[in-house]
Structure 1
Amino acid sequence: MVACASTQLYKLTYMKVLIIKKAARHGISITNRCQREKQKATIPAPRPRRDFANPMDETLPMGEIVQSAFRPPLWLRNPHLQTLWGPMGRTLPEVTRRTERLNLKDGDYLLLDWAGPQSQPGQLTVMLLHGLSGCSDSHYMRGIQKVLAEAGIRSVAINSRGAKKPNDTALCYHAGEVDDVDAVIDHVFHENPTGHRIAIGVSLGGSRLLNWLAHRDNNHLSAVATICAPLRLDICANRLDQGLSKLYRQHLLKNLLTNFERQKIHLDKVNPPEAKRLHRLNMNSIRSFWRYDDQIIAPLYGFRSAWHYYAQCSAGPKLLQIRTPTLMLQNRDDPFMTPQTLPRQEELGPAVTLEVSDYGGHVGFVGYKSQRYWLEQRLLAFVQGFGIR
């Protein structure tokens, strides 16, 4: 299975190169226009985009849908090229960081990678939360931290349990896990109580932040931004069983299951009781996220099944509960989900703005040379728009 997944990923990479060359040679769009028009019709047409530069401005369309300004080159409009560009075609951004170990109440720990200036009273701190199978070294995490540091803004990239190295309990993380999110926010708050805090969550990290806002919000965050958050977990799991998206599923599951095998070996040495929890799990024949969530996440976290987990932790139905200013960046062409997952205007809380792009893939947003990594500039503008440093 591993060899098969590797071969398929190689084929997808090769296909990417061919598509780029062909598109560049002929100067044509490589998207399926008929399919795109059909997708557009499935959600309400967004209103013209308004600036998010001043989140406290009364004219800001809080609780509304706005059109994103992102426009990629014609040859980069394919969602798979957008998705693969960062992890496969980008040099990993260099950023100077220091690592802190944050001990948790259950005896486990998180690794926090800090970048930017040293802490000063009243200073702004931006917290970053990665997606599934990611870590603080993911291209988007380093890219965002680099842009923030160059602007003189302090940030901390949160590594979820087991993201960088095996952790000391059987637990990992999931779309609705908020205890560890709460621990980091509380830690950053007590380190600098007079400072402001903004959180940014990417993909699954965005889902975790939205769940935290709905269930745990304690006014310690000034604002939140999420990128390509899976708002309906059942629909996203189904989408990853279709077409080329199956290759992403196979790649993610391979990484996740490999990490669990390493975790077992580590816990056998340092925490045998916790190791037994993992050894009791059925990790065989997992070829879909339904199986992964049913056989691993559900029993680890006390859910009755994958269905129960999806129902409890899908953030889409909870957006009306959010009261902290929140910007959600979503795409119509995201290969990890469908336009059906995009919320309607009446499903958005008064503090939530949904910014929708026609293009971008999954956490792509790769633009023209003058603004190649549009997402990082968009997030910088969002952070700077609050006028706090």
Structure 2
Amino acid sequence: MIEQNAIHGASPMATAQAAAPRGERTSLVRGHIATIAGFVRSGLAPELPSAVAWRFRVPGGPHGAATLTGLYFPSAGSRDLVILLHGMGGDARSAYQRPATAALRAQGLSVLRLGQRGSSRDPEDLHHAGLWEDIAAVLSGDPTVALYERVFVIGFSMGGHVALHLAAARHPRLAAVASICSPLYLDRAVSHMDRRESAVYRRHVLGGLKRMYREIARRRPMPVPPSVVDRAETLREWDRLTVVRRFGFGDPEAYYEAQGAGRLLRSLVTPALLLYSRQDPMVPPATLAGLGAHEGLSSPARVVWMDGGGHIALPRRLDLGLGEAIPATPYAQIAAWLRCHQAPGRAS
């Protein structure tokens, strides 16, 4: 069953609060299974053979210059490009992007899997949860992007958080974004991930982040030695040692308050589709309760709550109410929703 509501619709928390403890436990177990199974299936999926290495130099801006790398998958005759943004600790080769790439290309879309600052194999710098300016530079200056009439962004988890920042920035080349299982209230999301019960997921994310930091430290002086960062056991500690020091936030709490995308929901100017699973073990509904504060909000955002799936593991069927002609598979529905929108700089 798929329940849909605009951002001003009923809060999903009512369902969660009314559920019996046994029902909550069953739902949580299903979410864990779906999440882990999704990672396994993605890892077994072959990479598409048509990948083209992509590279772009961010010329400067508020965070300085940096080289971004990625994988480009052109579709013959396509006039639309989807940029995929990986999650925290991931990169352009993260396996969960493989089925998304294949499904989107089957819909006739070209795909650019963009590695955010610091995620390349020769990283120069860190990125953080609100660093959207690099993506805006790509939209404005990359010759591959310039080939396309419409550009969309799909972000996974923390990549979706960055996509929402971009949706608040009114870029003339950006037609719409989709955010899949992204956190909105960072302090609450980090506290959930730092619980003992989330240890498996946290260690997976921290492993990728620590590898990235060690590689960066090989190429430039960093304020904290990698040997110290390697001892961090929580995401809050990671942020305190790395992001806070690099970008000048006073402490992790100041970073979360300044960069949390939840505060942007009233100022989104680009159409945004936010997809959440009620069974998500990494970004559960309890961490998103602030959505209820935005009831009555008039904005281009749409929130869809899914029964089934897990963290960035979409259910087999999704119905966004776009008509019977659209297959009820997740990426066919997402692609059709994105294509309903025109970029403001290319409107007819």
Calculate the TM-score normalised by the size of structure 2: 0.79
Q: 1:279 to 1:357 in 2, by over 3 A?
A: same
Question: Which residue of 202, 218, 224 corresponds with 2:156?
Answer: 202
- Please state if 1:142 is matched with 2:98: yes
Aligned partner of 1:213 in structure 2 is: 167
Question: Which structure would you say has the larger Rg?
Answer: 1
CA distance in 2 between partners of 1:221 and 1:378 (Å)? 19
Aligned partner of 1:151 in structure 2 is: 107
Structure 1 stretches lacking a partner, 5+ long:
1-46, 51-60, 68-73, 268-273
- Please state if 1:244 is matched with 2:192: no
- Please state if 1:380 is matched with 2:335: yes
CA distance in 1 between partners of 2:227 and 2:170 (Å)? 33
Aligned partner of 1:86 in structure 2 is: 38
Aligned partner of 2:235 in structure 1 is: 289
- Please state if 1:111 is matched with 2:66: no
- How much has 1:189 moved relative to structure 2? 7.9
- Does the Cα contact within 8 Å between 1:76 and 1:82 map onto a contact in 2? no
- Does the Cα contact within 8 Å between 2:86 and 2:158 map onto a contact in 1? yes
Report the secondary structure of 2:113's partner residue.
strand
- Please state if 1:128 is matched with 2:84: yes
CA distance in 2 between partners of 1:78 and 1:183 (Å)? 40
Aligned partner of 1:36 in structure 2 is: none
Question: Which residue of 170, 176, 179 corresponds with 1:226?
Answer: 179
Report the secondary structure of 1:256's partner residue.
helix
- Please state if 1:175 is matched with 2:129: yes
Structure 2 stretches lacking a partner, 5+ long:
13-25, 318-327, 344-348
CA distance in 1 between partners of 2:153 and 2:28 (Å)? 29
CA distance in 1 between partners of 2:36 and 2:3 (Å)? 29
CA distance in 2 between partners of 1:316 and 1:347 (Å)? 15
Aligned length: 311
Percent identity of the aligned residues?
Answer: 24
Aligned partner of 1:34 in structure 2 is: none
- How much has 1:348 moved relative to structure 2? 4.8
CA distance in 1 between partners of 2:342 and 2:264 (Å)? 29
- How much has 1:75 moved relative to structure 2? 11
- Does the Cα contact within 8 Å between 1:103 and 1:109 map onto a contact in 2? yes
- Please state if 1:263 is matched with 2:194: no
- Does the Cα contact within 8 Å between 1:223 and 1:325 map onto a contact in 2? yes
Aligned partner of 1:330 in structure 2 is: 276
Q: 1:132 to 1:276 in 2, by over 3 A?
A: closer
CA distance in 2 between partners of 1:75 and 1:92 (Å)? 27
- Does the Cα contact within 8 Å between 1:126 and 1:154 map onto a contact in 2? yes
